[in-house]
Structure formats: C-alpha cells, structure tokens
Structure 1
Amino acid sequence: MKKCLIVGGGLAGLSSAVSLAKQNVNVYLIEASPKFGGRTYSFVDKKSGDEIDNGQHLLLGCYYETLEFIKSIGATNLFNFQHKLELNFVTRDKIKHQLKATDLPYPFGLFFGLLNYEALSIFDKIKIIFIFAQLPFLQSEKYLNHSVEDWLIEQGQSRNCIKSFWEIIAVGALNSKLKDASAKMFIDIIKVIFLKGSNASAMIIPKVGLSKAFVDPAVNFLQTQKTELSFSEKLLEISIVQNKAVSVVTDKGRLIDFDALILAVPSFALNKINGIDRTIEKDKIDLSYSSILTLHLWIKNNKLKKPFYAFLDSPLHWVFNHGNYITTVTSCADGLIDKSPEELFPMVRTELQKYLNIKEEDISDYKIIKEKRATFIPNKENLMKRPPVKTKIENVFLAGDWTNTGLPATIEGAIKSGNTAADEVQKYLW
C-alpha cells in the first residue's frame, strides 16, 4: 500500500491525514511539538481549572470543508449552529444593536435583517444593498491593487457604515486593517458569505475547547485507521534525488519509507529545513504576518445573555461568553501585542465597563495570550507570493492556510489546503 509522510500536525496536516486515510493511503504524521493542533488548541488554566483556548474561533456556515472535516471525524455534535445570521453589536454607550436575518426565504431574510439593523441609517443600508446587488458580477481580480478601505469608499460607503458593518466582517475574516488588506480577498469572501444561501452567513461556535472539538476527534479517527502518529519529532532535512524526495532526517532519525511527502508547516518554519530551497523558492514563503491578542477574564456573577458580542469602534473586537469567564479578541493587534499586562488589562477593563458595564470588582482574574504571527496579511504582495500545493519536486506537496487556497488564513483555509494536498497526493500515487 502506498504511504504518505505528513510533516506538521496542525489542522492542515490533520485534514490531509484524515482525507488520505479515508482513501486507504497509509499515513505517517509527525509533529515537532508535544501536541497536535498547531495554533488551534486548548489547555487547562492552572488557577481556575477551566479549559481555555489559545485563541477563540468563530466559524461560518460557508466553511464547507470544515463542516465535512468535523463530520468525518464524528465531531459535529460538539458545535453550536445558528440557523441564520444573528450578530449582537454593542456601542461604547452600552447601546445594543442586533443584525438578525428574518425567517423569510433567502435572500429576503438577510435583506430585511439588514433593514432592521438600527446602527445604520436608511442611506447606509441602501448603499450596502447596492454592493450586494453588484457582487455576482464583480471580478475581484480587478481590485487586487485596491485596499478594502479604498474600495468601500469608492462604493460610497460612509464612515459610519464602514465602522458599524463592514469593519467587523473584514477585520474578523482577514485579521488585517482595512487599509492594509487587498479588496480582492475581501470581495471573494463576502461573495461566499452572502451569496451562498441563508446558512452561509450563520455563525458556528464550538461547545467545548478547540482541542476537544477538532484535535482529539481527528487523532482518534486516525488511530482507528492505523495511522502512525509521532509527537515531538522535528524535520531537519529533505534529501532529493532525480526530482523526488527519497528520504528525510528528523531529530529522531532518518525516514525513507514513503512515496509522497506533505509539508504542512507554517511558511516561516520551512526556512529552517535543510534542502527546502530545492522544493520552493524562498521568496514565496517570506510573508508578513499580523497578530491576535486574546484575554480570558474570570467574572463574578456574569449577567451577559448572549454567547458573543461584537464591539463597535473599540480596540476589542469580540467578546465571547463562557459563563464563569469571558474571552476578548483583538484582531490585527500589532499596536497592542508588545504591551505589558499592566498596560493591557486596564485598557480591556475600561472597554468592558464602557460597553457591557463589567466593572473592575467584577473581574477576579485574567490571562493574556499573544499570537504574534497569527495569520498572514492578505495584501497584494502576500497574495502574489502564496504558492500552490504542488512544488517543483514531483512527490512533495505543501499544506497550510498560507498556501494559495483563495481564502484568508482561517480554519477553513487550513483544512481546505490539507484536502487539496491530499487530492494532489492521490493523483500522484495513482
């Protein structure tokens, strides 16, 4: 039976392994760290005993590859699914606005949900509807050189419209400032979110920690398929003969028993592998990255009613309600990521009081998590660099949310890349 060696146990590597195992390909999956999941993992907070995530994730109904993945590994019941879009926005004056699709058939449910969204003027709503009407006919490639901000202004979107509607979508999906991200990527994703039916824009949240929702079920599935799994094994070198990878060296020894090789590691990790320059041009993996700042805060007498909130015009973009603790998320957090806890906590505390009336005495403890290289910035330069999964070496393939998936760096992008790499391996092997 043919065998594929997969290097990297994040979601890209796990989805590659699951896809190949389902097609009866022998898989050997190695991971440099002592755990699988990559950036998608959870851990137990020592003080509280709560299992908390490395970074909160919000999925969408248009994450079709992700939904198929969690179905394959038997994890669908570990997620809460909205039936239709429902977003709860909060202003700094504690005014709450709801963007909620009605029960009317698509697209009328979304249309009337937008009309009922009170944070926007009727003029702003008409301008948004005008963009939606254009979307099926827009060729996103024409806007590669435009920033999201410039494109929205060209489309007649007011500052309030951008702040109260577009920004939360763009920053959340792209993890980038509107002035930095390419409008091409933004147009592509809003086409998927808003033009694929009412379920596409609905929100999906894990009921449990990310490790229990994604990683443990995937590992359990792979073990039932007799997949070989190795933790704490780091790839050091690739040997290539006659345009084929014939062996690799890890910190545990040499591996030669494989027919295909998938490198499912971050772009910046590839540079550390000897021989990688024969596989991919180094300028293709020299991407610029954006950070994400997460704070978990333990709350006394939590009175929040909704599972999550979006903040308008705040350095905090999202607040997720976990009962005895809440999680704040700041995307594209480069201006905050190097600040000390003594600087960050007062800022977060102030914002929570302004928006949700959570006072200092309500907070019993907090934990800060910084992901400095969370996602690549989807600007023109990075989009042009993103490589395909196929490399110059005939049996070596790439996977990762940074490859050319046509999506931003999301869970969906990672899983899609893994599936694409698995498909290319199948074509190569047979």
Structure 2
Amino acid sequence: MSPGATVRRVTIVGAGLAGLAAAVALRRAGVAVAIADAAAQAGGRCRSYHDPQLGLTIDNGNHLVLSGNAAVARFRAAIGATAPLAGPDHADFAFHDLAADTRWTVRINDGPMPWWVLRAGRRVPGTTARDYLPLARLLRHGEGRIGDRIPTDGPLWRRFVEPILLAALNTAPADGSARLAGAVLRETIARGGRAMRPRLATPTLDAAFVDPALRWLAANDATVATGRRLRALRVAGDRIDALDWGAGAEPLAPDEAVVLAVPAWIAAGMVPGLTVPTRHRAIVNGHFACTAPPGTPAMLGLLGGTAEWLFAFPNRLSVTVSAADALVDADRESLARRFWADICRALGTDAPMPRWQIVKEKRATFAATPEQDALRPPTATRFRNLFLAGDWTDTGLPATIEGALRSGEAAARLACGGALA
C-alpha cells in the first residue's frame, strides 16, 4: 500500500517460507491475515514428508543455511523455533576428490580478518595467499558473469570456489551472476567464519521452520488453508478488487491487500504484464536409509564423481547435485547406484546399497545468470494492493531460504505502507 495507507487484512497466497514469513511479520504488526496454499501441506519447496520406500521422514532437498543468515535468525526467533540448526562449531568445509582420492578441509577463522589464507593447513591445498586476492573483485558491487571477474581455473577455483558457488547459485558458477555471488560473499565469508558456519535443519525442515511457524500463526489467530488454489486475480484500475478461488470472484475490501507468494511462472500467469525469470535449474537429491560410519563429517564436498555434497543425518545419508539438468531425466535406480558408489568411495566402505529414494526438482530455482537476475521483479507491483514474495523476486540474493524469508518480510512491510520495522 502507499505510505500512510491503512491495511487491516492481507490475503497471502502461498504457504512456502516466503508466505509464512510475510504472515508472521503481519500478525506481529497486528494485521489480520488469511493464508491459502494449493498444496496439501505448507512449506513449499522446503517441506518434509514420510517416505514409505525409505520408512523415514525426509526433506524434499538438503537445504543449507549459514550462521550469518539474519532473516533465518529473525524468523526462527519470532516463531519460537527450538529444533536446532546443526553444524560445526567453526566454518570448516571438508572435501574429498574421489578421482584423486585426496582429502582436505578449508578452515575459515572466526573473525573478519582472513588470516586463514596465510596458513597452509587452513587454505585449499596447492594454493598460496596471493591466489585469494582476485576474490575481492566479487566482493565489490558489480554486474556481469563471475567468469568475467575472477579466474575460473586452478586449485582454488576447482577445490573450493566452484563447489561453494555452485551450491549457492544452482547455476554453473562461471556463467553465474557476479552481483549475486558478491552479495553472498559479503554477508558470509567477508564477515568471517562466525557468519559462514554451515547449518542444516535437524531433524527436518518442518521441525526447524514450518511446524513452529504454523503453531505460532494458529496461536495468533491465523491458520493456513491447504488444498485451496487461487484461480485468478480480478483487476479494477490500479488495484486488485477480487480473488477467484474457483467458485467465482470474491471481492476484497478497500483496506485489504494481497501478497502473492507463489512460483514465478504461476505469478506470471496471474499478474498482467509481470516479468519474471524464465529459465530454471534442477536439483537432484539421493537419500539412503543407513547410519554413517563413525567420524563422517556432517557435510562433505565431493569432487570427481556424480554427487556433489554428502550429508550425514542420524538415520540416513543424503547427497545433492546442483544445476542437475543433465541428470534430472535419468533413470532413478541408475542414479541411486551412481550416488551410492560415490558414497562408498568417500567413506571407504563396500556396503551393499540400502533402501534409497531419489528426489528430483526440475525447476528448483531460477537460473542465477545475469540475464535471468535482471528479470526478477521488485516486491511492489503496479497494483497498489498487490505485493510479490518468493526467492525469485529481486531480493539481491540467489534463490535461498534467506532470500525467501527476506522477500516475505519485504512484502509485509510494503503491504503496511512501510510501517513495519
């Protein structure tokens, strides 16, 4: 709404993390909210479910956050989340090159002064302190491709920068947006290891984010209606004046706003003239019902194989492949066997493959290239009571949990005329 406008009620379409963040922020400001989602459960792409093939409750993907993610901390504090985000005490990143059978750990010191690059035992093997200087080009605000700003070869790139940026951008890093990569690095590694510690939802994403948000909202007179799909927005001049949920247009009150927190392609089909990212990248995850051998790191970067990151949970091992368009149509059992072979090489075991599950997300995130980043819309629209939320909006970050939560906060703030802190 415009500055100074009074909004008394907001309808939030979509109960992923962006929609939930908007709902929490609005209820904390005393605004009535109604939340609806077309899916059978809340959470969007960050959801958990019981998988009968594994006999376990798993997440749809291995979604990582970092200790410096401020919106994650704000959201969890607001909803009283107690399920931990688990991870190492320091920003230690373990890697294993499966082809060369070599291991190393990058150990970033806690403070902002990066003295870790001066210690051979902390930096990437085969690098010198001088090799890290070009990374400063990414820290500066700049446009274009990552490959046009820093070298994309050599041990530093292959053994650390490339796998980290691939996970953050879900796009081939050399072609990725320098603007987005710089934003990530400024908020994490540039602030030191205290902001760079990796964190995983334990035991599940639902427990760490979704369930406590739903409980908080229910306790504050805002519940989520699932299985309710918005069919259309009705436009009247410069505002949305009705919503169609499939049984005809339902008028909005003059003091009612709408936050549209749905995937980009759905929003584009509803909002006249809306420009959104048009290209997306896949993520493929493999889950295996087994216990990790003693000493297995909670997170292990893998090079030279098919899997890229291995995560050790108490009741399963999981792997993730980002920018996985080349794998997303592959046979599921074939993928499971390839992933399991990588796991066995990484952990030094020849155990038979346990119960498994492959989870494919064909349009997991927008392609984080400069061209696609430029298509991301702002939170505000040309309709004065319609606002957008989602990690595909122009948050200044790649498509991450942090970005999704920030987008929800931004939508809530604008819906209230900028009155939220």
| TM-score, normalized by the shorter chain, greater than 0.5 | yes
CA distance in 2, matches of 1:411, 1:394: 27
8 Å Cα contact 2:178/2:370 also seen in 1: no
The counterpart of 1:127, out of the listed 124, 131, 147, is 131
Aligned to 1:207: 202
Residues 140, 185 of structure 1: 8 Å contact kept: no
8 Å Cα contact 2:277/2:376 also seen in 1? no
Matching of residues 193-204 of structure 1 within 5 Å: 193-204=188-199
Residue pairs, 1:77-226, within 5 angstroms: 77-92=83-98, 93-102=100-109, 105-108=111-114, 110-111=116-117, 115-117=120-122, 119-123=124-128, 125-128=129-132, 130-132=133-135, 138-141=140-143, 144=144, 147-153=145-151, 158-226=153-221
From 281, 289, 293, the counterpart of 2:280: 289
- 4+ residue stretches of structure 1 with deviation over 6 A? none
- Separation (CA, whole Å) in 2 of partners of 1:392 and 1:42: 35
Q: Which residue of 2 aligns with 1:263?
A: 260
CA distance in 2, matches of 1:296, 1:324: 10
**Aligned-pair distance for 1:77?**
4.2
CA contact (8 A) 1:81 1:203 kept: yes
CA deviations over 1:253-283 (Å, ceiling 9, x no partner)? 543345111100011112443xx21xxx24x
Deviation at 1:412, TM superposition (A): 0.5
Q: Equivalents in 1 of 2:294, 2:56: separation in Å?
A: 19
Matches within 5 A, 1:30-429: 30-92=36-98, 93-102=100-109, 105-108=111-114, 110-111=116-117, 115-117=120-122, 119-123=124-128, 125-128=129-132, 130-132=133-135, 138-141=140-143, 144=144, 147-153=145-151, 158-251=153-246, 254-258=249-253, 259-273=256-270, 276-277=271-272, 281-282=273-274, 284-299=275-290, 302-361=293-352, 363-427=353-417
Find the counterpart in structure 1 of residue 3 from structure 2.
none
SS at match of 2:397: coil
Shift in Å, 1:286 = 4.5
- Against the structure 1 CA distance between its residues 69 and 11, is the aligned structure 2 distance closer, same or farther, given a 3 Å change threshold? same
Structure 1 residues 158, 394: CA separation in 2 closer, same or farther (over 3 Å shift)? same
Query: What code does the residue aligned with 2:147 have?
Result: E
Q: What SS does the aligned partner of 2:112 have? A: coil
Q: Quote the offset at 1:42 in angstroms.
A: 0.8
Write the letter of the residue equivalent to 2:131.
K
Q: Secondary structure at the match of 1:115?
A: coil
Partner amino acid for 1:270?
A: A
- For residues 169-210 of structure 1, give each alpha carbon's deviation from its aligned partner in whole angstroms, at most 9, with x where no partner exists: 110100011233122221222122122243111111111111
Shift of 1:252: 5.2
Tell me how many residue pairs correspond in the alignment: 411
Counterpart-to-counterpart distance in 2, 1:428 and 1:413: 19
Query: Contact 2:53–2:356 (CA<8 Å) still a contact in 1?
Result: no
Shifted more, 341-350 versus 391-400: the winner is: 341-350
User: Partner amino acid for 2:316?
Assistant: Y
- For the structure 1 residues 253 and 218, does the alpha-carbon distance in structure 2 shift closer, same or farther, using more than 3 Å as the test? farther
Q: One-letter code of the match for 1:65?
A: A
* C-alpha distance in structure 1 between counterparts of 2:283 and 2:332, whole Å: 15
1 or 2, which has the higher helix percentage? 1
What is the percent sequence identity of the aligned residues?
27
Cα shift at 1:429: 8.2
C-alpha separation between the residues in 2 aligned to 1:254 and 1:229? 20
CA contact (8 A) 2:39 2:228 kept: yes
Where structure 1 has 5 or more consecutive residues not aligned to the other structure, the ranges are none
What do residues 293-325 of structure 1 show as CA deviations (whole Å, max 9, x unaligned)? 000012367345221111123321110001332
**What displacement does 1:225 show?**
1.0
Task: Give yes or no for contact 1:349–1:359 (8 Å, CA) kept in 2.
Answer: no
Query: Aligned with 2:173: secondary structure?
Result: coil
CA gap of 1:91–1:340, structure 2 versus 1, over 3 A, is same
Q: How far did residue 397 of structure 1 move? A: 0.5
Distance across 2 between alignment mates of 1:407 and 1:422: 18
AA matched with 2:362:
K
The C-alpha deviation readout for 1:122-149, integer Å capped at 9, x for no partner, is 43x4211x1355566x2313xx2xx323
Alignment partner of 2:175: what SS? coil
CA distance in 1, matches of 2:123, 2:189: 20
CA distance in 2: counterparts of 1:320 and 1:185, whole angstroms: 25
**Counterpart for residue 4 of structure 2:** none
Aligned partner of 1:140: which letter? Answer: G
In the alignment, the residues of structure 2 paired with residue 384 and residue 289 of structure 1 have an alpha-carbon distance, to the nearest angstrom, of 14
- Deviations along 1:391-416, one digit per CA (max 9) or x if unpaired, are 01011010000000000000011001
Unaligned ranges ≥5, structure 2:
1-6
Query: 2:383 aligns to what SS in structure 1?
Result: coil
CA-based RMSD: 2.2
